Structure 1
Amino acid sequence: MIEKNTQKNFQFQFYKIQKLVYQTRFLSNQIGDAGASGLGSALAKCINLSNLTLDLYFNQIGDEGASGLGSALAKCINLSNLTLDLCENQIGAMGASGLGSALAKCINLSNLTLYLYYNQIGAMGASGLGSALAKCINLSNLKLDLGYNQIGAMGASGLGSALAKCINLSNLTLDLGQKQSNQIGASGFFSALAKRINLSKQTLDLQFNQIGDEGASGLGSALAKRINLSKQTLDLYYNQIGAMGASGLGSALAKCINLSNLTLDLRSNQIGDEAASGLGSALAKCINLSNLTLYLEQKQFICFEL
C-alpha cells in the first residue's frame, strides 16, 4: 500500500512539472543530432508544458539535431515561455531555419530566448530564422543572440526585415556582435528596424561591426521613429564611429520623446572632444530621460541620474 501511494505521489508531482515548468541543463555533454532529437521527442510528450528552459550549450548538435529538436517542441501546444541555449554547437543555415520554422508552430509562444552564438548560421540562416520567427503571431518578447555567426550585411538586412513583421513584438534584445570586424550593412538593417514602431524596450549589441558614421546616423534615424520606445541599450563598441556619426546619433535619440532609460556604449571609436560635447548637448534634449549610462572610453564610464 505504501509503495502504491508513493508511486501515485510521484506521478502527481511529475504531472505538476509537466503543467508548469521544466528546466534541464545538458551543457558540454557530447550530445549530437540523435541525442537532441531524442530529447525533444521525449519532451513533446509533456502535453501540458507551458514553460521550458533547455541548456544544450557546447555540444555537437548540427542541422539535423536543431531541426529535430524544434519539430518535437512544436508538439508542445501549450508552450508559452521558452529559453533555448544552443551556443557553441555546429548549427548551420539549414538547422537555424528549420528550428525557426518549427517554433513558429508553437501558436501560444509569447516569450522566446534563443542563444545561438558561435555556430555557423551565416547570412542565409539568419534570414531564414527571422522569416520563421515572424510567423510567431503571439510573440511579444524576443531575445535573440546570433553573435559570432558571420551573418554579414545580407543576413542582418534579411533578419531585420523579417523581425519587422512581428506584429505583437514589444520587447527586443538582439545580439549581432562579432569577434572579428564584420560589416552588418548600415542601410538595410537599420531601415528594417525603423518599421518596428511599437517596440517599447530594445537592446542592440552591434560591437565590432564597422557601422561607421553612416551606420550610426542611420541607426539614430531608425530609433527616432520609435514613438513608444522607453528603454534602449546600444552597444556600439569598436565601430569606427567618428564625430559626425556620434552627433547624428545623439540628435536622433533626442527625438525619442518617451525615452526614459538609455545605455549607450561608444568605447573604442573616434569621437573626439567636440563630438562628445555635441552628443551630450543632444541627449540633454531628451525631455523624459531619467536614467543615462554613457560609455566613452576603454575603462571608464559616466552614469547620470537625471
Structure 2
Amino acid sequence: MQKHSIQNSLFKNFNNEIGDESASGLGSALEKCINLSNLTLKIRYNNIGYKGASGLGSGLANCINLSNLALYLGSNYIGDEGASDLGSGLTKCINLSNLTLDLECNKIGDEGASVLGSSLAKCINLSNLTLCLSQNRIGDKGVSVLGSGLANCINLSNLTLELNGNVIGDEGASDLGSGLAKCINLSNLKFDLNCNQIGYKGASGLGSGLTKCINLSNLTLDLDLNEIYDEGASVLGSSLAKCINLSNLTLCLSCNQIGYKGASGLGSGLAKCINLSNLTLGLSKNQIGGEGASDLGSGLENCINLSNLTLDLRFNKINDKGASGLGSNLEKCINLSNLTLKLSCNNIGYKGASGLGSCLAKCINLSNLTLYLGKNAIGDEGVSVLGSGLANCINLSNLTLYLYDNFIGYEGASGLGSGLAKCINLSNLTLNIGNNEIGDEGVSVLGSGLANCINLSNLTLYLDGNYIGYEGASGLGSGLAKCINLSNLTLYFRNNTIGEEGVSVLGSCLAKCINLSNLELYLINNEIGDEGVSVLGSCLAKCINLSNLTLYLGQKQFICIGL
C-alpha cells in the first residue's frame, strides 16, 4: 500500500486462522493509509485476541478521514481489553458517518462495552450505526454506559443494536431506553435483546424511551425469552401507541409468560398505530388464551392501512373463541394483500376454523396467504368452511396451508378441493394435509380441484399417512396431469399404500406434465416393489424437460441431475 493513495478498501479474511501478529501487522499498514474514506474489514472466525484488536485500534486511530467503516470481528477472542482499545481508536475517527461494528462472540464484558460506549459518544457525526455485541458477557453496567454513549449520537437516523444472549437485566435495559430517548432523529431502529433478563421493568424502560423517538417509521424489537409478563407487554403497547409515524413494525415477544392482559394491552396500543402498513407480531409460546387473542384482534382491526400482516400465536391455547375473534377482526382489514397466520397447536376446533374461513371470504384483496393450523382439531366441517372462504379470494397467487394432524377425512378434503378449484390465479401452492384420514376419495377430489388451477407453476403437496391406495394415486395423478404449466413439483406421499399399480398410474400422469423441470417424489413405505419402480422410471423418461429429479423410494435416495 502506498501512503496517501488509498481511498476505498475492502479486506475479506473469513476463517483464515489470522492471529494477533497478522492483525497487528494489518493495523500498522492501515495507520499509513491516512486518506482512507471507506474501509470494510472482514476477519470473522479467526484467532484474534486482545493484542491483535489493539493493533487494529491503533491503526484506525490514524485514519482520521474515514467516513464509512465496516469492521467484522465476530467469533474471535478480543475480550474486554481488545474491545477497549478498538473503542479508543474509534474516538479519533471524528468524521465517521456510517459505522458497522461486529464483535459478537468475543468474550466482551462490562468493561469492554463501557469503553465502547464512551467512544461512541465522541462519534457525534454518525448517522448510521450497526453494533453487534451478541453472545458476549455484557451486563447492566456495560449496557448502561453504552446507552449513555448513544445519547450523544443525536444525528443518528438508522440504528441496529444486537445484544442478544448477554446478561442484561432491567436496569441495563431501562438505561438503554433512556439513551435512545435522546436519539430524536431516529427513523429506523432494529433492537435485538432476546435471551436476556430484562423483565417487565426493563421492557417498561425501553418502552418509555421509544415514546420519545417520535420520528420512528421503522421499528424491529426482539425481546423473546425475557420474562416481561403482562405488565411489560402492556407498557410496550402503551408506548407504541405514541409512535404515531410508525409504518413498519416487527415485535418479537415469544416465550415471555404473557397472558390475556398483556395481549389486550398490546392490542390497545396497536389500535392507535393507524399508519402501520407492515406488521409482524411474534407471540408464540405464551399464555394469551382465547380472550387475549380476541382483544389483540380488536386492536388490529383499527389498523386499516395494513397491507402486510404476520401474526405468530402458536402454542397459546387460543381455542375456538380466540380464532373466531381474530377472524371477525381481521376481516375489517380490507387492504390486506399479504397475510401470514401461525396458529398451530392451539386447541382450535371447527368453530374457530369456520370463523377464520368467514374472515378470509371477505379479504378479497389477498394475493399472498400463509396459514399454519397444524395440530389442532378442525375436522371436516372446519376445513370445508376454510375452503369456502378461500374460494372468494380470487386474487390469490401464492397460498401456503398447513393442516396436518387435524382429523380431516374425505368430506373435509372435498370441501377444500372445491375451494381451491376457484382459486384460478394461483401460481404457487404449498398444501400440507399430512397425517389425516382423507383416503382415496378425499385425495381424488383434491386432485380434481387442483386440475382447475391451470396457472400453477410451483406445487408442494404433503399427503403422508392418509390411507391412500391405488385409486387415490390415480385420482390425484389425473388432476395433476391437467396442471400443464407446472414447472416445479414436490410430492410427499410417504406411509401410504399406493402399491405398484398406484405408482405406475401416478407416473403415467406425471409424464403429461410436459413443462416439469424440477420434480421431487417421496414414496417411502408404499409397497411399490421392483416393477413399480421400473414403470415409474419409464414414465418419467417422457418428461423431456426435467433437469432435476429426486426420488425417495425407501432407505436409499436416488438423485438424477441434468437429465
Taking structure 1 as the reference length, the TM-score comes to 0.91
CA deviation profile, 1:66-124 (whole Å, cap 9, x unmatched):
12112112222321111111011111111111101111112221100000011111001
In the other structure, the counterpart of 1:264 is 311
CA deviation profile, 1:273-299 (whole Å, cap 9, x unmatched):
34313312210111222211111116x
Pick aligned residue for 1:183 from 220, 229, 245: 229
User: In structure 2, what is the Cα distance between the partners aligned to 1:78 and 1:126?
Assistant: 25
In the other structure, the counterpart of 1:131 is 178
User: In structure 1, what is the Cα distance between the partners aligned to 2:217 and 2:278?
Assistant: 11
Deviation at 1:151, TM superposition (A): 0.8
User: In structure 2, what is the Cα distance between the partners aligned to 1:252 and 1:28?
Assistant: 42
User: In structure 2, what is the Cα distance between the partners aligned to 1:16 and 1:216?
Assistant: 46
In the other structure, the counterpart of 1:77 is 124
In the other structure, the counterpart of 1:66 is 113
Pick aligned residue for 1:9 from 5, 14, 21: 5
In the other structure, the counterpart of 2:217 is 170
Identify which range, 222-231 or 189-198, moves more after superposition.
Answer: 189-198
* Gap change, CA 1:82 and 1:119, over 3 Å in 2: same
Q: CA RMSD in A?
A: 2.2
Amino acid across the alignment from 2:68: V
Amino acid across the alignment from 1:102: G
CA deviation profile, 1:155-194 (whole Å, cap 9, x unmatched):
1112111211112222111111007x55262433322332
Tell me if 1:54 matches 2:76. no
Tell me if 1:302 matches 2:371. yes
* Gap change, CA 1:184 and 1:152, over 3 Å in 2: farther
Deviation at 1:228, TM superposition (A): 1.4
SS of the residue 1:35 aligns to: helix
Q: Tell me, yes or no, if the aligned pair for 1:161 and 1:193 is still in contact at 8 Å.
A: no
Q: Tell me, yes or no, if the aligned pair for 1:156 and 1:184 is still in contact at 8 Å.
A: no
User: In structure 1, what is the Cα distance between the partners aligned to 2:78 and 2:230?
Assistant: 32
Identity of aligned residues (%): 65
Q: Tell me, yes or no, if the aligned pair for 2:234 and 2:264 is still in contact at 8 Å.
A: no
Amino acid across the alignment from 1:15: S
In the other structure, the counterpart of 2:252 is 205
Amino acid across the alignment from 1:302: L
User: In structure 2, what is the Cα distance between the partners aligned to 1:71 and 1:12?
Assistant: 24
User: In structure 2, what is the Cα distance between the partners aligned to 1:24 and 1:53?
Assistant: 6
User: In structure 2, what is the Cα distance between the partners aligned to 1:52 and 1:125?
Assistant: 23
Amino acid across the alignment from 2:5: N
Between the two proteins, the alignment pairs up a number of residues equal to 300
Q: Tell me, yes or no, if the aligned pair for 1:152 and 1:184 is still in contact at 8 Å.
A: no
Amino acid across the alignment from 1:254: E
In the other structure, the counterpart of 1:112 is 159
Q: Tell me, yes or no, if the aligned pair for 1:182 and 1:208 is still in contact at 8 Å.
A: no
User: In structure 1, what is the Cα distance between the partners aligned to 2:78 and 2:4?
Assistant: 32
In the other structure, the counterpart of 2:338 is 291
User: In structure 2, what is the Cα distance between the partners aligned to 1:245 and 1:193?
Assistant: 18
Deviation at 1:259, TM superposition (A): 1.5
User: In structure 2, what is the Cα distance between the partners aligned to 1:196 and 1:138?
Assistant: 13
Pick aligned residue for 1:88 from 116, 135, 141: 135
* Gap change, CA 1:58 and 1:167, over 3 Å in 2: same
Deviation at 1:145, TM superposition (A): 0.8
In the other structure, the counterpart of 1:254 is 301
Taking structure 2 as the reference length, the TM-score comes to 0.51
Q: Tell me, yes or no, if the aligned pair for 1:158 and 1:189 is still in contact at 8 Å.
A: no
Amino acid across the alignment from 2:37: Y
In the other structure, the counterpart of 1:36 is 83
Q: Tell me, yes or no, if the aligned pair for 1:27 and 1:55 is still in contact at 8 Å.
A: yes
* Gap change, CA 1:182 and 1:106, over 3 Å in 2: closer
Q: Tell me, yes or no, if the aligned pair for 2:158 and 2:188 is still in contact at 8 Å.
A: yes
Pick aligned residue for 2:276 from 229, 233, 236: 229
Deviation at 1:268, TM superposition (A): 1.0
Q: Tell me, yes or no, if the aligned pair for 1:154 and 1:184 is still in contact at 8 Å.
A: no
User: In structure 1, what is the Cα distance between the partners aligned to 2:200 and 2:131?
Assistant: 26
Identify which range, 283-292 or 69-78, moves more after superposition.
Answer: 69-78
Q: With CA pairs under 8 Å and 6+ residues apart, which has the higher RCO, 1 or 2?
A: 1
In the other structure, the counterpart of 1:146 is 193
SS of the residue 1:243 aligns to: helix
Please list every run of 5 or more consecutive structure 1 residues that lacks an aligned counterpart in the other structure. none
Tell me if 1:155 matches 2:219. no
Deviation at 1:16, TM superposition (A): 4.0
SS of the residue 2:197 aligns to: coil
Q: Tell me, yes or no, if the aligned pair for 2:294 and 2:321 is still in contact at 8 Å.
A: no
Identify which range, 15-24 or 194-203, moves more after superposition.
Answer: 15-24
Q: Tell me, yes or no, if the aligned pair for 2:235 and 2:265 is still in contact at 8 Å.
A: no
Deviation at 1:264, TM superposition (A): 0.4
User: In structure 2, what is the Cα distance between the partners aligned to 1:73 and 1:158?
Assistant: 22
Tell me if 1:194 matches 2:263. no
User: In structure 2, what is the Cα distance between the partners aligned to 1:83 and 1:162?
Assistant: 19
Please list every run of 5 or more consecutive structure 2 residues that lacks an aligned counterpart in the other structure. 7-32, 40-64, 346-369, 373-392, 397-563
